[in-house]
Amino acid sequence: MKVKVVANILEANDRLAAENQKIFDELGVFVINLMSGPGAGKTSVLESTIKEVNGKIKIGVIEGDIAGDDDARRIEILNTPVVQINTGGACHLDANMIRVVMDDLPLKDIDLLFIENVGNLVCPAEFNVGEDIKVMLLSIAEGHDKPLKYPLMFQTSSALILNKIDLLPYTNADINKIKKDALSLNPKLKIFEVSCKTGEGISEWVNWLYSMVNNKP
Amino acid sequence: MKVKVVANILEANDRLAAENQKIFDELGVFVINLMSGPGAGKTSVLESTIKEVNGKIKIGVIEGDIAGDDDARRIEILNTPVVQINTGGACHLDANMIRVVMDDLPLKDIDLLFIENVGNLVCPAEFNVGEDIKVMLLSIAEGHDKPLKYPLMFQTSSALILNKIDLLPYTNADINKIKKDALSLNPKLKIFEVSCKTGEGISEWVNWLYSMVNNKP
């Protein structure tokens, strides 16, 4: 019974997600669903990305949080169009939430839309929101056992940003194990090693973004 | 409609949780539902706790993960009774999962049962599993904005373990803001600053555990 309910919710969500994607496609907006556990640094990576891109392509952001608008305010001061979704208690964004707020962004002027999901390494991976690709972050401080414990997010993402790489000397995390296990789950996964603190890896990540946006069909 | 379904699931879960709690009470087992985001160090804190307690009270563990049994194996080599739940895809433990595995533990010989939930700062806070209290961890590397973004878990927990305190010099995290915001959400919250790497704070935490176990009605 319970499984059936969940399946219906996912199906209904997929239908709405396809409608969102059609709207984004018609307007030529490349959409990334950005996911991670809490505190892996999604908003910091967005800040570094916006600064590095420096207007070369036009970025917009939808911020998803259970409560609060801290993240939207961090994006807004970078002169980047942003809307904040508060899910109330829900642990992930769904397609309908995106549908409700998308008209609040100047989509015609946006090349690349980031949808920053609720910090959660589990549920967001199950709910499409109309994105072209999913990208996930993992903080080095979260340890090297995460790929095998949270396989779905690694399997559904096109890229993995290993963030806070500057903390590597101060942790026991085995970065090679993270990469090996992540690639065993998803051999096509593109992996970036990034530090928003030192700037390491940001330009490689941004160059890859350019190629993705320019190759949008 | 969707909200109604969720309410029914929560209600049915609460009923089962109350049954679990009755069983634990009759056997004199103090039960802690241990929650955090991914990689905050729940299993490391359990390892440090078991070593510090060193048999003075008898500990048992139920490990919850979406996949894998790494955590259970880490507990098992410490000669501590443990069972592993794999949720398949579910992002939290529920009371029925605990009901199914509890008979696999020697509950009559256990004073303190830790139920290590799936790494998720959101959903586990909504599902009682039959525990006496909830305890949450936050890793310093997750940043200082977490209490206001994930309020429910801070509100429902009796204690907060601020873990990986050794990383504080290498991050921008403002520990006073974490404590202030957490206490504003939950003035009774007991806060421990802990490092499993240096051992800092473990004895304070364990002394508090003794007082909780000894005061179980």
Structure tokens at B166: 């050794």
Closest Cα of chain A to B151: distance in Å?
8
> B15-39: per-residue pLDDT in tens?
999 999 999 999 999 999 999 999 9
Residues of chain A with C-beta less than 8 angstroms from the C-beta of B142: 38-40, 139, 141
Cα-based distances in Å from B96 to A2, A158, B17, B64: 13, 35, 8, 13
What pLDDT band is residue A5 in, cutting at 50, 70 and 90? low
The answer to whether B73 faces chain A, any CB pair under 8 Å, is no
The answer, for B168 touching chain A at a CB cutoff of 8 Å, is no
Whether chain B has a CB inside 8 Å of the CB on A122: the answer is yes
- pLDDT tens column, B65-97: 999 999 999 999 999 999 999 988 889 999 999
A7: confidence class by pLDDT, cuts 50, 70, 90: low
Quote ipTM for the complex. 0.82
CB pairs under 8 A between A and B: 122
Evaluate whether A37 touches A122 at the Cβ level (below 8 Å).
no
Q: Which residues of A123-132 are buried (b: 16+ CB within 10 A; e: fewer)?
A: bbbbbbbbbb
What is the overall mean pLDDT for chain A?
Answer: 94
Give the gap in angstroms from C-alpha B197 to the nearest C-alpha of chain A.
9
Could you tell me the CA-to-CA distances from B36 to B3, B153, B203 in Å, in that order? 25, 9, 21
- In this prediction, the residues of chain B whose per-residue pLDDT falls under 50 are 1-2
pLDDT in tens, A41-68: 999 999 999 999 999 999 999 999 999 9
Which of B44, B84, B121, B154 to mutate to probe the A interface, most A CBs <10 Å? Answer: B121
Q: Is residue A73 over pLDDT 80?
A: yes
A121, A146, A164: best to mutate for the B interface, most B CBs within 10 A:
A121
Q: Does A188 touch chain B (CB under 8 A)?
A: no
pLDDT at site A9: 73
Neighbours of A148 (CB within 10 A): 18
Q: What does the pLDDT look like over A150-198, one tens digit per residue?
A: 999 999 999 999 999 999 999 999 999 999 999 999 999 999 999 999 9
- pLDDT of residue A6 exceeding 90: no
pLDDT at A160: 98
List of chain A residues whose C-beta atoms are within 8 Å of the C-beta of residue B122: 66, 89, 91, 118, 120, 123
Query: What pLDDT is stored for residue A1 in this prediction?
Result: 37
The closest CB to that of A37, out of B119, B123, B145, belongs to B119
- The four Cα atoms A98, A100, A102, A106 give a dihedral, to 10 degrees, of -160
Pick from B212, B191, B177: nearest CA to B136: B191
Q: What pLDDT score was predicted for residue B9?
A: 73
At B95, phi and psi to the nearest 5?
-60, -35
Nearest Cα to A113, choosing from A191, A16, A28, A178? A28
What tens digit of pLDDT does each residue of A112-148 get?
Answer: 999 999 999 999 999 999 999 999 999 999 999 999 9
Give me the residue label for tokens 């009759």: B26
